[in-house]
Chain A
Amino acid sequence: MRGFIVTAALAALCSISGNIVASAPVKIGMVTTLSTKAGYLGEDIRDGFRLAMDLEGGMLGGVPVELLVDDDGRDPGKGKQIAERFMQRDGVKIMTGIVFSNVAMAVVPKVVRDGVIYISPNAGPSALAGKGCHENYFNVAWQNDNLHEAVGQYATDSGFQNIYLLAPNYPAGKDALQGFKRYYKGNVAGEVYTKLGQSDYAGELAALRAAKPDAVFFFLPGGMGINFIKQYAQAGLNKEIPLMGPAFSFDQRLLKAVGDAAVGVVNGSQWNHDLENDANLLFVEAFEKTYGRMPTLYASQGYDAARLIGSALKQVGGDLSDMSAFRAALRKADFASVRGAFKFGSNQHPVQDIYVREVVRTEAGDITNETRKKVFANHRDAYAAECAM
């Protein structure tokens, strides 16, 4: 109803001022993961995106928009179907939302070939950053390796010499360790691939202790990470060997399930709720007020995706008939990102600062992340050179 009134008011305003604004709202299709255990990721991306719209009264960049959301259930086939429907039935020209790289690989190459602009708020597979880059594909989050690379650089800077590596035995796990090793220059004490979905790490922890590393880097997304961190602390290892990883195991929601066991862990992230810039202060406060919980990095990415789209819609006045003008507007990234400085590289992936954070217990008793230091300034991904664009 509110959206309708705003639209009507705007239409009235336009007829007076004589501006040309498309009268029907611009449709944005969001294919994301809302069910399964990982459903909270899509939930946060969606809520972050919605927040940006709500703050503008249902508009982005002064242009009325309509957000269509559907759940891919983490299933590439289903994601493809939804994208197909958005294009055929709803005539969607802008899409976003996908959480997982395997779903992105099934959906993105097809939709961008069909002339749809896709803005990735999370997944950043190397294939789409390098040889498979496309003028219609923009990534507003990170290339998958970025956060691992930041931790690798941090390990090098901090003088760690003998690090033990651990990841699940699947492509993203191998990429994660690859990304870490790209910037970590010391010795590898052990490189262990665990079963995907493994819940008990007693065996790995015993072997880890025996290897006597001076730090441990791990990438275990979702429940695997919760299990690992808890068991690491129970084995008393958190007092002996520092633990580090990408931000994925340390978002605000997972921290709640891990508790004190995570305190002291260092993790790499492009965003944190304590980054001091006006856009972020506004975002964190509005998110907490609207949804009654702290935002995660996924929410920040959803919010930035919406604001990026808004900045480009504003420049073209909501007119999507000339896609090359809209693309050029997107490429400028003329919006205040919640993570501070942000621009696109040649492959339309972020050039941004990446930080390490530390998990702390606040005086109020909450467990949260505190930004420790900036590891990379204006960091580019490693695949940009392979992109012919």
Chain B
Amino acid sequence: MLLFLEQLLNGLQLGVMLFLMSAGLTLVFGIMRVINLAHGSLYMVGAYVAATVFLHSGSFILGLLAAITAAGLVGMLVELLVLRRLYGRDHLDQVLATFGLILFFNELTVIIWGRQPLFMDVPDLLSGTIEVIPGAPYPSYRLAIILAGILVAAFLYLLFNHTRLGMQIRAGASNREMIAALGVNIKLLNTLVFGLGALLAGLAGAMAGPILAVESGMGESILILTFVVIVIGGIGSIRGALIAALMVGMVETLGGFMLPALLRLFLPAATADGAGASLASMSVYMLMAVVLVLRPHGLFPVHD
């Protein structure tokens, strides 16, 4: 039972991380209709910048701020230089171009930082463990990630539902020609939205730095799950991204832990572990398949 609760926390933490990634991606996909495979690269930029600033200044907060600034700027630059030319084009062109960006950014990090993964530590304040659930010490840094995710979700809720900018973004997601006709500068809006998405990816990358290896290509592993999240949540929907990210986080974590245990009931241990591990890595995709059968446009479709 203790273990189960702890795994719930782990699932929540993964879900929060996925939410930060998918919130930006779903906006870009929903509003600009662009498939941006390079979203994971912005996550990597965040992690690299955070680790570098952390290494030189010793301050985690400074690293975090530098990371989101850098990722936001890089994101807007990419929008201006590359993506802007792709809005009217076929999805295949966009996939090709943004895949090229992935290769570009991966090589760029190798050129700038070398092949050696960077080191980044958790801030001293959060280096310990806390017994949120009595008997199961939980790393306080991971709790901080959960907290940060909740704050970002609240911020996005306020931004989208209670500001003029948010209203325009939502309007852009449902009908972009109409709001352009109404005199909203859709080009500027696109750049801003892209910058916001990049900033969130950078934040996710910076927060992942102390947990994961900061290395070239680190964005790709989370990118796939991020796409699963936005497809389940409904493309363009922030609310959908939040719910779907938590679902995927839970399924991914609990699947890896419960499936082998379940299979052990009627299979020999070694077979059960092997099969369980394989099934667990499929579980997220099975979830996606089920959701798409029941609701072909995702849980919270924006376009019908």
Cβ of B128 under 8 Å from chain A:
yes
Report the bound CA distance from A197 to B224 in whole Å. Answer: 13
Q: Which of the four size classes fits the interface of chain B?
A: 35 or more
CB interface residues, B 192-234, toward A, < 8 Å: 210-218, 221-222
Contact in complex: B116, A210 (CB < 8 Å):
no
B10 is contacted by which of A192, A206, A234, A259 (Cβ under 8 Å)? A206
Chosen A-B contacts, 19 in total, with CB atoms closer than 8 Å, are A40-B116, A43-B115, A193-B274, A194-B256, A194-B277, A198-B221, A200-B211, A202-B253, A207-B3, A207-B257, A210-B3, A223-B212, A230-B210, A230-B213, A234-B211, A236-B129, A253-B116, A256-B116, A257-B119
Q: Give the residue among A194, A203, A254 with the most B Cβ atoms within 10 A.
A: A203
- Chain A residues with CB under 8 A of B10: 202-203, 206
Cβ of B141 under 8 Å from chain A:
yes
Shortest Cβ distance from A211 into B: residue = B3
B59 → A minimal CB distance (Å): 17
How many inter-chain residue pairs (CB < 8 Å) link A and B? 110
B277 is contacted by which of A43, A193, A260 (Cβ under 8 Å)? A193
Interface residues of B (CB under 8 A from A): 2-3, 6-7, 10, 13-14, 115-119, 121-122, 127-129, 136-139, 141-142, 210-218, 221-222, 253-254, 256-257, 260, 269-270, 273-274, 277-278, 280-281
Report the bound CA distance from A203 to B255 in whole Å. Answer: 10
Known: A40-B115, A254-B117, A256-B119. A235 touches B3 (CB 8 A): no
A169 is contacted by which of B121, B215, B221, B277 (Cβ under 8 Å)? B277
Provide the A321-348 mask, 1 if CB < 8 A to any CB of B, else 0: 0000000000000000000000000000
Shortest Cβ distance from B117 into A: residue = A257
Contact in complex: A236, B136 (CB < 8 Å):
no
A99 → B minimal CB distance (Å): 13
CB interface residues, A 197-218, toward B, < 8 Å: 197-200, 202-204, 206-207, 209-210
A224 → B minimal CB distance (Å): 8
B193 → A minimal CB distance (Å): 28
Contact in complex: B116, A37 (CB < 8 Å):
no
Cβ of A195 under 8 Å from chain B:
yes
Known: A231-B211, A234-B127, A253-B116. A210 touches B142 (CB 8 A): no
A234 is contacted by which of B2, B14, B141, B221 (Cβ under 8 Å)? B141
Cβ of A384 under 8 Å from chain B:
no
Contact in complex: B115, A37 (CB < 8 Å):
yes
- Chain A residues with CB under 8 A of B222: 199
Shortest Cβ distance from B51 into A: residue = A257
Contact in complex: B13, A202 (CB < 8 Å):
yes
B215 is contacted by which of A37, A192, A202, A258 (Cβ under 8 Å)? A37
Contact in complex: B277, A191 (CB < 8 Å):
no
Shortest Cβ distance from B126 into A: residue = A234
Q: A197-B221, A253-B116 are in contact. List 6 more A-B contacts (CB 8 A).
A: A202-B10, A206-B136, A223-B213, A234-B127, A234-B139, A257-B213
Cβ of A226 under 8 Å from chain B:
yes
Shortest Cβ distance from A367 into B: residue = B119
A40 → B minimal CB distance (Å): 5
- Chain A residues with CB under 8 A of B211: 200, 227, 230-231, 234
Contact in complex: A193, B273 (CB < 8 Å):
yes
Provide the A168-211 mask, 1 if CB < 8 A to any CB of B, else 0: 01000000000000000000000111110111101110110110
